[in-house]
């Protein structure tokens, strides 16, 4: 290694940057890519390819053949004020395709929600969730076919984390579809949606992942998670009361048949009604221990029949409209 390269490596190792992994398997279909890319070696991030040199499918295949599974993208340091994916998501679509941005945003969301669900230093995680919502709004506003790309990279294994992330993205998408244009309102909606199941951290894993029917006691435990989530978040600073309503009411139903309080539609916050719709939809389109995933069409058909009087019909129609618009070819 020459002197300049050594200096460059040391600078990268010592600078307070945050790095986001970019899995090669997930991005090779949308190459070439034009941004600074790094390789991690022994805790150091070494520049592999600069913005001026496109990273091509051939480059990707060669790295994968050599056993490299991911490259890294550099973002700004200071996670509480700047999410590491900001640098990539701010690049134009011509340099970084929306599909790549979607993958980075989704993976970043998974990590953020995983930390929130652990209930470890929750107060420190809240600003990261706020950053995540801000990134989501920026991505959905400034990238072409952004929501369609997000749907493509979504996972459907129904883990606590993937479900929370999916519901967060669906909620913001439906929120925009019903005409919510104020980013402050969308941010509150997104925060509540991403955190809606945080109370499940108190539910034993053998209950969450049980492949068969729950016992009476197990079902009683599950029904407590909205209240546990609200109690957990109530101790955090600067949490909107609306976020607490979303967390505690997302399993309530218009006819009073929901839980934990059995309140009826007029007592539910609009955003809690919205999250109830997308929560139900994602649950049905995800693999469960006791059944395979439904297709989006079948899930909507079943929900339409089973949720009459339980889920808000206008919000359900907005979800249908959002998904239908994504499936229709663009017209000039």
How confident is the model over 313-327, as pLDDT tens digits? 999 999 999 998 876
Q: Quick check: 291 and 236 in contact, CB under 8 A?
A: no
Is residue 48 over pLDDT 50? yes
Selection from 86, 85, 72 nearest residue 44 by Cα: 72
Return phi, psi of residue 211, to 5°.
Answer: -75, -20
The highest-confidence range among 12-21, 232-241, 258-267, by mean pLDDT, is 258-267
pLDDT of amino acid 175: 96
Numbered ranges of CATH 1.10.3210.10 in the chain: 82-327
Size (the chain), residues: 332
Q: Using the predicted structure, report yes or no on whether residue 78 has a pLDDT greater than 50.
A: no
Q: Which of 20, 11, 80 minimizes the C-alpha distance to 44?
A: 11
CATH number for the domain running over 82-327: 1.10.3210.10
Buried b (16+ CB within 10 A) or exposed e, 136-146: bbbbbeebebb
**What pLDDT was estimated at residue 75?**
55
Mean pLDDT of the chain: 83
Residue whose structure tokens are 């950053």: 131
H/E stretch holding 18:
strand 18-23
Residue pair 251/199 in contact by the 8 Å Cβ criterion: no
Asked if 34 contacts 73 with a C-beta cutoff of 8 angstroms, the reply is: no
DSSP string over 31-87: --B-S-EEEEETTEEEEEE-TTS-B-HHHHHHHHHTT--EEEEEE-S-TTTS-TTHH
What pLDDT is stored for residue 121 in this prediction? 60
pLDDT category, 103, cuts 50, 70, 90? Answer: confident
Residue 166 pLDDT more than 90?
Answer: yes
In the predicted structure, residue 18 carries a pLDDT above the cut 90: no
C-beta atoms surrounding 51 within 10 Å: 13
Is the C-alpha dihedral spanning 166, 168, 174, 177 positive or negative? negative
The C-alpha angle 200, 204, 207, rounded to 5 degrees, equals 95
Closest C-alpha to 139, from 61, 219, 85: 85
Mind listing the pLDDT tens digit for each residue in 109-164? 888 888 777 755 667 778 888 888 988 888 887 776 888 888 888 888 778 789 99
């Amino acid at each position: 290694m020459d002197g300049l390269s050594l200096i460059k490596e040391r600078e990268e190792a010592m600078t307070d940057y945050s790095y986001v992994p970019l899995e090669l398997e997930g991005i090779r279909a949308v190459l070439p890519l034009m941004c600074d890319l790094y390789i991690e070696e022994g805790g150091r991030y070494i520049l592999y390819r600069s913005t001026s040199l496109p990273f091509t499918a051939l480059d990707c295949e060669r790295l994968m053949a050599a056993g490299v599974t991911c490259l890294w993208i550099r973002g700004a340091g200071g996670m509480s004020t700047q999410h590491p994916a900001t640098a990539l998501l701010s690049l134009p679509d011509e340099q970084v395709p929306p599909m790549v941005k979607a993958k980075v945003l989704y993976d970043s969301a998974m990590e953020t929600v995983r930390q929130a669900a652990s209930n470890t230093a929750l107060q420190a995680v809240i600003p990261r969730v706020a950053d995540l919502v801000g990134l989501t709004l920026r991505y959905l506003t400034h990238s072409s076919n952004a929501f369609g790309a997000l749907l493509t990279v979504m996972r459907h294994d129904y883990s606590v984390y993937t479900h929370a992330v999916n519901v967060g993205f669906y909620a913001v998408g439906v929120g925009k579809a019903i005409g919510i244009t104020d980013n402050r309102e969308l941010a509150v909606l997104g925060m509540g949606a991403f955190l809606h199941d945080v109370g499940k951290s108190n539910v034993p894993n053998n209950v969450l992942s049980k492949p068969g029917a729950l016992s009476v006691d197990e079902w009683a435990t599950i029904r407590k998670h909205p209240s546990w989530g609200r109690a957990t978040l109530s101790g955090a600073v600067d949490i909107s009361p609306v976020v607490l309503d979303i967390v505690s009411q997302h399993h309530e139903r218009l006819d009073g048949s929901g839980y934990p309080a059995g309140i009826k539609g007029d007592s539910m916050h609009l955003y809690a009604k919205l999250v109830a719709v997308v929560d139900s939809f994602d649950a049905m389109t995800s693999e469960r221990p006791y059944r395979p995933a439904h297709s989006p069409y079948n899930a909507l058909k079943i929900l339409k029949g089973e949720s009459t009087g339980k889920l808000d019909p206008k919000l359900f129609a907005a979800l249908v409209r959002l998904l239908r618009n994504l499936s229709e070819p663009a017209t000039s």
